[in-house]
Amino acid sequence: MSETVLDDALVTALEVFAARTSVLVASDFDGCVSPIVSRPEDARPDPRSMAALEAAAVAPLTQAALISGRARVDLQSLSGASANLTLVGSHGAEFADGFETAISPAQEELLQRIVAEFTSISDRFPGTSVERKPASVTLHTRMASHENAVSALELAQAGPASWDGVHVTNGKMVIELAVIETSKGHALDRLRAAMGVDAVFYIGDDVTDEKAFAHLRDGDVGVKVGGGETAAQYRVADTDGVAAVLETIAALRG
Ligand SMILES: O=P(O)(O)OC[C@H]1O[C@H](O[C@H]2O[C@H](CO)[C@@H](O)[C@H](O)[C@H]2O)[C@H](O)[C@@H](O)[C@@H]1O
């Protein structure tokens, strides 16, 4: 068990949640189960958090899910999750059976234009990089100098982010442009209905996780990781706090 001490109010909320008959335990990946690292491809999950999610997934009347901004295939390989976990990629839009609405040829063409523009921006500003995903493109600036990061993000905002049909997300040291609308909240609604659970737990750290918190209902529990405004009722400081929360739920449900 973790040495992180959770707030009494959070522990009580977890106990009440875990006492419901059937539950879904869902988590964000980067910055939550997986500590933030400089290069996206180097991200690795905290073994304690993954073990707790895997334990929850096989507990009675308990489902567990990772809902991430990553491409689903990358989420699968980086997390090493077993088939017991439900994986949703592309900020809630990409399920095991693909996207709810297929990416159209026009959207694919738009995606290629964004890739080309981001690549051209990235070539001009050392330390930035481009991550291509099935329905979006991310310009990363974490490895760039402050000046290069600011300039690259300004060019992205003034350029492709302003194009018709482009959906903009400003994440942690990234700007992400999608050719479809995505919502982790919508993903939670879909999982809740498909799994028929009585209550949902969700934990996350970034802007797209706010859409998930906004879809929580009475009896659900939302936990924000780190600082910043949030619609979540509870908070933990860091990924150790995430592991402590997930271990608590797994122990209560097991
Ligand atoms: O929804 P998430 O699972 O939190 O995914 C959000 C984005 O996470 C990744 O970027 C972030 O994590 C990287 C690795 O720690 C870090 O280098 C980067 O600065 C962060 O923004 C991922 O690369 C993106 O595709 C996700 O959208």
| Inter-CA distances, 227 with 13, 34, 205, 232, 236, Å | 20, 17, 8, 11, 9
Residue whose CA is at the smallest distance from ligand 1 atom 25: 70
Atom of ligand 1 nearest to the CA of 169: 27
Q: How far apart are CA 233 and CA 167, in angstroms?
A: 28
The per-residue pLDDT for 240 is 98
CATH level 3 topology of 8-99+182-253? Rossmann fold (3.40.50)
Could you tell me the two tokens for 51? 């073990």
Spans of all domains in the chain? 8-99+182-253, 105-178
The residue among 85, 80, 99 whose CA lies nearest residue 178 is 99
Atom of ligand 1 nearest to the CA of 66: 3
Mean pLDDT of the chain: 97
Could you tell me the two tokens for 20? 């419901």
| β-strands 98-99, 129-132 pairing | unpaired
Contact (Cβ atoms closer than 8 angstroms) between residue 240 and residue 205: no
Length of the chain: 254
DSSP 4: P
Span from the CA of 29 to the centroid of ligand 1 (angstroms): 8
Look-up: residue for tokens 């903009």?
Answer: 168
The per-residue pLDDT for 2 is 54
Residue whose CA is at the smallest distance from ligand 1 atom 13: 40
Residue whose CA is at the smallest distance from ligand 1 atom 10: 40
Residue whose CA is at the smallest distance from ligand 1 atom 21: 172
Residue whose CA is at the smallest distance from ligand 1 atom 26: 69
Q: How far apart are CA 168 and CA 43, in angstroms?
A: 23
Q: How far apart are CA 50 and CA 219, in angstroms?
A: 24
Query: Which among 30, 78, 184 is the best mutation to test ligand 1's pocket, defined by most ligand atoms within 8 Å of the CB?
Result: 30
CATH level 3 topology of 105-178? Alpha-Beta Plaits (3.30.70)
Q: What is the ipTM of this complex?
A: 0.98
Write b or e for each residue in 60-93: b if 16 or more Cβ atoms lie within 10 A of its Cβ, otherwise e: eebbbbbbbbbbbebbbebbebeeebbbbbbbbb
User: 3 falls in which pLDDT band (50, 70, 90)?
Assistant: confident
Query: Which among 91, 136, 174 is the best mutation to test ligand 1's pocket, defined by most ligand atoms within 8 Å of the CB?
Result: 174
Report the predicted TM-score, pTM, of the whole model to 2 decimal places.
0.96
Could you tell me the two tokens for 144? 């760039």
Span from the CA of 143 to the centroid of ligand 1 (angstroms): 13
pLDDT tens digit sequence for 20-60: 999 999 999 999 999 999 999 999 999 999 999 999 999 99
Residues touching ligand 1 (Cβ under 6 Å) are: 28-31, 36-38, 40, 43, 68-70, 131, 138, 140, 142, 171-174, 176, 206, 208
Backbone angles phi, psi at 161, to 5 degrees: -65, -20
pLDDT tens digit sequence for 208-225: 999 999 999 999 999 999
Residue 231 region by backbone torsions, left for phi larger than 0, else alpha for psi between -120 and 50, else beta: alpha
The per-residue pLDDT for 100 is 84
Span from the CA of 97 to the centroid of ligand 1 (angstroms): 23
User: 109 falls in which pLDDT band (50, 70, 90)?
Assistant: very high
pLDDT tens digit sequence for 170-195: 999 999 999 999 999 999 999 999 99
The per-residue pLDDT for 230 is 98
The per-residue pLDDT for 101 is 87
Residue whose CA is at the smallest distance from ligand 1 atom 6: 69
pLDDT tens digit sequence for 53-108: 999 999 999 999 999 999 999 999 999 999 999 999 999 999 999 998 899 999 99
| Inter-CA distances, 247 with 25, 190, 241, 242, Å | 11, 25, 10, 8
